[in-house]
Chain A
Amino acid sequence: MHGIQAVHLTSVQLRGFRSYRSASAVFAPALNIVSGENGQGKTNLLEAIRLISVGRSFRGATDGEMVSWGQPSGTITGAIDDGPVRQIVLTIAPGERKQGTIDGAALNGLAELVGVLRTVAVSSDEIEQQFGSQTGRRRMIDVMISQVDRGYLTELRRCRTIVAQLNAVYRDPANDDALCDVLERQLAETSLRINRRREAFFHDFCRAVERHFSRLFGTGNLVLESRPTLPGKGELSDLDHAVDVLRESRRSARRAGFAVRGAHRDRFRVLLDGRDIESHASKGQVKIAYLAWKLAEGDFIERETMRSPVWLIDDPFSELDARRAVALLVSAEQRGQVILTNARTDGVEMLKNGHAHHLRVHDGIVEGGRDV
C-alpha cells in the first residue's frame, strides 16, 4: 500500500524469560531468520516479542509459565524504530500484575502497551487454541482491533468488568432484580459500542480474507460470518431492544450463573463452501484459511495505521507445504519486517530473494548477525 511507514523492532533483550536467563538479539528491518534445533528457544523469542506487543502470550501461557525456572521474575526489553526509537520494558512475575515502562514512563495499566509495537503472529499454537473455535476467533478479532484502536480496548475491559459484576449478581439469589436491570443496561450499552466497531471492521476484513484464501487455495468459497448475541448494529436506537433481550434471557442466565448474551459471547464463523470449517474442513484447509486471515490482519493494521506490522512467523515449513509457506513469507516480507523461526534449512533455501539476517538459537543463547 502506498505511503505505508515501515516500523521495525531493532533489538530485544530477555532476562529470566523461559529458556533465556540473559540474552539479546538484534534484528534487521526486513527478513530475519531465527534457526536452531527443536527445544532451543526459537518460539520463546517470538512469544516474548508478541508479549510486549499485545500483553499476552500467543500460546495462552500464564506469567508463571513464562518466567524462567527458579527466577522471581522475567523482563523483556524491546527497541522499536517507528521514526523515533521507542523502548518498551515489561516485567512479569508469577501471581503479580505485569509492570513496565514505555520510553521510561511507567505503564498505567497494560492497555497502554497495546498499539506501540503492532504485530501479526503466525503460529500453529494459535491455530489450535484460537482459530479453531468461534470464541477463539472473537479473541483474535479483539486483539487485532485493539492494536489499532485503544478506545476499543477500553470498551472491552469495561465489558469484562460489567460481565463479572453481572455474573456475581446472577449467582446470588439474594440480589434483587433492580441490580440486574442496572447491570444489564450497562452490558447492553457497552455491547452495542463494541458491536458497532466490530461491524465497521468486519466488512473489509471479510473481503480481504476471502480474497487471500482464493489466491492461496485456488478453489473453494470462504466466507466469514458474525453471530452477535444481541440485536442491532450498534446504533443507540437498538439499546432498548437489546436491554429487553437481556431481560428475557435473565432466567437462563441465573440458571447458568453467567451472562449468556453480550459482546463477550458473540461468535465468528468461518464457512468453506457454506459449511463450518471446524467440523467440515480438512486440517490443510483450516491452515490455509488461517493464513488468509493473517494476511488480511496485516492489511487491516496497515490500512488503519498507515504503518507496517512486524510479522512473527513460527516455523512455517513444519506446518505448511513449501509453496504456501513461501507465498506467506514473500507477502509478509514485501510489507515489512519479518522475524521467522525455522528448524529446517530447506525452506530457507527457497527464500533466496534478497538478504536475510540470520540468528541462531542454542541452549538459551542467541548468536548471529551474519547475512546469508
Chain B
Amino acid sequence: MDAVLDNAVRQFMRLPGVGRRTAQRYVYHLLRQGGEQTLALASAVEALHTKIRLCSVCCSLGESDPCGICTDSRRDASLICVVGETSEIPVIEATGRYRGRYHVLGGLLNPAAGIGPDKLTFSALLRRINPQVAEVIVALDASVEGDTTALYISRLLKPTGVRVTTLARGLPAGGSLDHADKVTIGLSLDGRVQLT
C-alpha cells in the first residue's frame, strides 16, 4: 500500500473499535467522496484540537472556558452532578429533570489500568465545594470501577459535610419483576421510595 494510504489507514486504526479492514473501508470511502467532503472532515477534526478546551470549573470539554453550563446563571449552583465523561452530560440533560451544574472526572478509577486518583479531577471537585453547594449527585456507571469511584468521592467529600447522593438502581422502567435478577431486586429494595 502507498505510504499516504497506509498512513491514513493507520490513523483510523487508532480510533476505538476500528480494525484494519474498517479503517481501509473508511479511507476508500473518503477517496470516492469529493475532495470538499474530505476537507470538511479534516477541518472538523482539526477544530477539535484547536477550538475545544477544558472548562476550568467543571472540567468538561467545550468551545468556551468557562463552559456554557457553568456560566448559565439560570442553573442551580447548589447542585453538582458528577459524571465520568463530557459525553454523559447530554444523557442527563435529555431527561429534562436536572437543572444543576456538572463536574467531569475524565474517567473512572481503575488502578489495574493505571488510572489512580491523580489521573482524575478529584481535587478540582473538592475545590468547588463551598457553603453554596448543598448536594453532590454521583452519576457513574453501575460497574466495579463506577462504584469504587463513587465510594472514593463519598470519602473525599465527607469532611466538607456536603450531602453526597448517587443515582438509584433497580428495576428498569417497564421491567417485569419475574425477569429481574436477585441483585437488581435487592438494590430495588434498598432504594425503595415512599408512596404515601
Chain A contact residues, CB within 8 Å of chain B: 150-151, 154-155, 158, 161-162, 164-169, 172, 174-176, 178-179, 181-183, 185-186
Tell which of B144, B156, B181, B182 touches A165, judged by Cβ atoms closer than 8 Å.
B144
- Which of B111, B144, B156, B183 is within 8 Å of A169, CB to CB? B111
- Establish whether residues A168 and B111, one from each chain, have CB atoms under 8 Å apart when the complex forms: yes
Contacts of B40 in A (CB 8 A): none
Residues A178 and B152 in contact in the complex (CB < 8 Å), given A161-B144, A186-B144: yes
Contacts of A161 in B (CB 8 A): 144
Which of A154, A164, A172, A182 has the most C-beta atoms of chain B within 10 angstroms of its own C-beta? A182
B109 contacts A179, C-beta separation under 8 Å: yes
Give the distance to chain B from A170, nearest Cβ to Cβ, in Å. Answer: 9
Beyond A165-B111, A178-B155, is A186–B183 a contact (Cβ under 8 Å)? no
Chain A CB count within 10 A is highest, among B144, B152, B181, for B144
Q: Given that A151-B181, A154-B183, A182-B151 are known contacts, is A175 also in contact with B111, CB under 8 Å in the complex?
A: yes
Nearest 4 CB-CB pairs, A to B? A168-B111, A168-B112, A182-B151, A161-B144
CA distance A156 to B110 in the complex (A): 18
- Are A182 and B148 touching (Cβ within 8 A)? yes
Question: Is there an interface contact between A175 and B116, defined as CB atoms closer than 8 Å?
Answer: yes
Residues of A near B152 (CB, < 8 A) are 178-179, 182
Bits for B112-151, please: 1 = Cβ < 8 Å to A, else 0.
1000111000000000000000000000000011011001
Contact between chains at B116 and A162 (CB < 8 Å): no
Which secondary structure dominates where chain B touches chain A? Answer: helix
Query: How many angstroms between the C-alpha atoms of A154 and B186 in the bound complex?
Result: 14
Contact A179 B117 (CB under 8 A): yes
Interface size class of B (residues with CB under 8 A): 10 to 19
Most chain A Cβ neighbours within 10 Å, of B110, B151, B181 = B151
Evaluate contact between A150 and B181: CB separation under 8 angstroms: yes
Closest CB-CB distance, A250 to chain B, in whole Å? Answer: 15
B145 / chain A contacts, CB cutoff of 8 Å: 165
Can you offer 25 A-B residue contacts whose CB atoms are under 8 A? A151-B181, A151-B183, A154-B181, A155-B183, A158-B144, A162-B144, A162-B148, A164-B112, A165-B112, A165-B144, A165-B145, A166-B111, A172-B111, A174-B116, A174-B118, A175-B116, A175-B117, A176-B117, A178-B117, A178-B155, A178-B156, A179-B116, A183-B148, A186-B144, A186-B148
A181 with B155, Cβ < 8 A, contacts A151-B182, A186-B144, A186-B148 known: yes
| Residues of chain B lying within 8 A (CB to CB) of residue A186 | 144, 147-148, 151
Residues of chain B in range 88-119 having any CB-CB distance to chain A below 8 Å? 109-112, 116-118
Per the bound structure, the CA–CA distance linking A167 and B113 in Å amounts to 12
Tell me how far the C-beta of B133 lies from the nearest C-beta in chain A, rounded to whole angstroms: 21
Given the contacts A181-B155, A182-B148, A186-B148, A165 and B116 also touching, CB distance less than 8 Å: no
Nearest CB of B to A194, in Å: 12
Interface centre among A154, A165, A167, A174 (most CB of B within 10 A): A165
Question: How long is the Cα–Cα vector from A7 to B131 in the complex, in angstroms?
Answer: 64
User: Chain B residues near A183 (CB, 8 Å)?
Assistant: 111, 148
A284–B181 Cα gap in the complex (Å)? 42
Interchain CB contact under 8 A, A179 and B111: yes
Residues of B within 8 A of A158 (CB): 144
Q: Return the chain A residue nearest B149 by Cβ.
A: A182
A165 to B113, CA, bound (A): 8
Q: How far, in angstroms, from A185 to B148 measured CA to CA in the complex? A: 10
Considering the chains assembled together, what is the distance between the CA atoms of A154 and B180 in angstroms? 13
Cβ contacts under 8 Å, A169 to chain B: 111, 116
Q: Which residues of A contact B116 (CB under 8 A)?
A: 169, 172, 174-175, 179
Tell me the chain B residues, 152-181 only, with Cβ under 8 Å from chain A.
152, 155-156, 181
